């Protein structure tokens, strides 16, 4: 209709589900059944939910009570972060080689050495076992260091942090394969990290051009 209100891009609700960037039957220690369910139901559900929430925000009357918009914006944040973190998670899986020398140097500059970093990263995951949340290795724009962060849900993140490596610790990411044995899942995750993608994110986040715009 010619007089139909134009919906701003922020509320278009046109987010699309991205394909898995790897063959789900090819990751040792993580089954095709687990990965496919995680991608379809949890990630796919977040994308669909975000689209619906944006449509609701777009249709909200200008004089609607503030609490209605507040509730929708809370749900928008949760769904948006869930979508983004899941996309980062799947994209940093499917590798087999180790970190590049440049990334190893950056990790050592921030944590002393790779083993110290990895111990903390795994331990944060173990602390979230049986609950829900994310472990994120961020490049911290403010300090220029890599930092591990704990997120108890989808709505927590490190200010000035650029996600470099993301591990999902919600039970849906491992229960089909490992039940409550989160430690075994963490080991399988680490064995399948796509370090080339991690290095690409780090290089982008640490580049002067990127930092100057954020």
- CATH, residue 57: 1.10.287
Q: 139 has which bridge partners?
A: 146, 162
Look over the chain and give the mean of its residue pLDDT values, rounded to a whole number. 94
Asked if residue 153 and residue 128 are part of one domain, the reply reads yes
Asked if residue 141 and residue 170 are part of one domain, the reply reads yes
Task: Please say if the pLDDT value at position 4 is more than 70.
Answer: no
Task: Please say if the pLDDT value at position 171 is more than 60.
Answer: yes
Residue finishing a domain among 91, 121, 140? 91
Residue finishing a domain among 23, 58, 91? 91
pLDDT-derived band at 153 (thresholds 50, 70, 90) equals confident
* Tens-digit pLDDT profile for residues 40-53: 999 999 999 999 99
Task: Please say if the pLDDT value at position 3 is more than 60.
Answer: no
Q: Domains in the chain: how many in total?
A: 2
Q: 96 lies in a domain?
A: no
* Tens-digit pLDDT profile for residues 51-90: 999 999 999 999 999 999 999 999 999 999 999 999 999 9
pLDDT-derived band at 209 (thresholds 50, 70, 90) equals low
Mean pLDDT of 140-167: 94
Q: How far apart are CA 74 and CA 95, in angstroms?
A: 35
Task: Please say if the pLDDT value at position 211 is more than 80.
Answer: no
Asked if residue 80 and residue 56 are part of one domain, the reply reads yes
- CATH code of 177's domain: 3.55.40.20
Q: How far apart are CA 41 and CA 93, in angstroms?
A: 18
pLDDT-derived band at 131 (thresholds 50, 70, 90) equals confident
Task: Please say if the pLDDT value at position 212 is more than 70.
Answer: no
Tally of CB atoms within 10 A around 19: 8
SS3 163: strand
CB 94 within 8 A of CB 193: no
Q: Which residues contact 148 (CB under 8 A, 6 or more apart)?
A: 117, 120, 121, 124, 135, 136, 137, 138
Asked if residue 117 and residue 206 are part of one domain, the reply reads yes
pLDDT of residue 207: 82
Q: How many helices (H) and strands (E) does the chain have?
A: 9, 3
| Comparison of pLDDT for 38 and 154, the residue scoring more | 38
Tell me which H or E stretch contains 195.
helix 195-206
pLDDT-derived band at 202 (thresholds 50, 70, 90) equals very high
Q: 42 lies in a domain?
A: yes
């Amino acid at each position: 209709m010619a007089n139909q209100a134009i919906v701003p891009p922020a509320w278009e609700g046109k987010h699309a589900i991205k394909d898995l960037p790897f063959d789900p039957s090819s990751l040792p220690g993580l089954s095709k059944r687990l990965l496919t369910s995680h991608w379809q139901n949890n990630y796919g559900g977040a994308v669909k939910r975000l689209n619906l929430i944006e449509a609701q925000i777009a249709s909200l009357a200008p004089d609607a009570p503030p609490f209605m918009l507040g509730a929708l914006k809370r749900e928008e944040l949760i769904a948006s972060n869930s979508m983004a973190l899941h996309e980062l998670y799947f994209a940093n899986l499917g590798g087999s080689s180790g970190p590049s020398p440049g990334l190893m140097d950056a990790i050592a500059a921030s944590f002393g050495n790779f083993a110290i970093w990895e111990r903390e990263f795994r331990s944060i995951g173990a602390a979230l076992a049986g609950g829900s949340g994310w472990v994120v290795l961020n490049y911290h724009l403010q300090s220029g260091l890599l930092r591990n962060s704990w997120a108890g849900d989808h709505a927590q993140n490190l200010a000035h942090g650029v996600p470099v490596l993301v591990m999902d610790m919600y039970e849906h990411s491992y229960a089909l394969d490992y039940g409550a044995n989160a430690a075994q899942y963490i080991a399988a995750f680490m064995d399948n990290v796509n370090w080339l993608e991690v290095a690409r994110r780090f290089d982008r986040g640490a580049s002067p051009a990127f930092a100057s715009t954020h």
